[in-house]
Amino acid sequence: MNVCGESGAERCAGLIASSGSIALLSGAGMSTRAGIPDFRGPEGLYSRLGIENPERIFEIGTFFANPAFFYDFYRDFLKLLETVKPTWAHRFFAVLESQGRLSGIVTQNIDALHQRAGSRNVLEIHGSVWQSHCTKCGKGYTYGESAEKIASERVPLCDRCGGVIKPDIVFFGEDVRRFDDCRDLVAKADLLFVVGSSLAVTPAAWLPGACPGRIVVVNRGEISSSWLPSSRVALHAEEDIDTFFRAVAVRMGIDVPESL
């Protein structure tokens, strides 16, 4: 059901009120609202690089062969992250969790904006920038520690063994993180939100199929029907994400902080 405007917000508020266990699958659309361009879109990060096959930046084989290729991009990406803050929608879902309505979040994003908004149970299926590890000895590095090294070394090296440090991001060629936990979370939900995702990237795109309950999609642009048939969608709002959830919150009488 594709419903926009006030009727969609009213319908969504009713679905939340009548649900016992809510889950969220979030994609790049939630981060673009915060000021992080998506990777694949016409205005995305890949298109801005002006290099052939930019997807190679996140190929694990390319990383091990030439880590400088990745870090020349990643250094600028970290600078971008320093300038952004969680959106209103990030904070809305954090409030739902604090009220005991939201069981957890599966995110395809690597920016930790959900955690910065206050969400606690966040499963990062594609990993995150907030931890890094040495590819040789396994020593862990915090975000601050790795960022300091990245700023001073073209390729950050482990101070214990000299190995190359890699952020805990899932590269192409690596397994996604905690997929079974992600599927279990979705499978226990009687209401699943799919927000800011086109469901074009597997295996994350398979997750809505595990939900036995109702599914609400909030996303501008096409949604792949390969893994989520339109017949499974109770509500599809093709609206600005923040605007839509502000309207939902008003109808539910939920107060969401305007800033952190």
Q: Can you give the C-alpha Rg of the chain in angstroms?
A: 19
In eight-state DSSP terms, residue 220 is S
DSSP 101-115: -EEEEEE--SS-HHH
d(CA 84, CA 66): 29
Structural element, H or E, at residue 194: strand 191-195
- Catalytic-residue membership of 126: yes
Minimal CA–CA distance to 147: which of 86, 83, 74?
74
- The two tokens of residue 23 are 């889950």
What is the CA 196 to chain-centroid distance, rounded?
9
d(CA 68, CA 148): 16
- The two tokens of residue 108 are 């395809």
Task: Considering the candidates 90, 126, 133, 236, report the single residue annotated as catalytic.
Answer: 126
In eight-state DSSP terms, residue 175 is P
Residues taking part in catalysis: 126
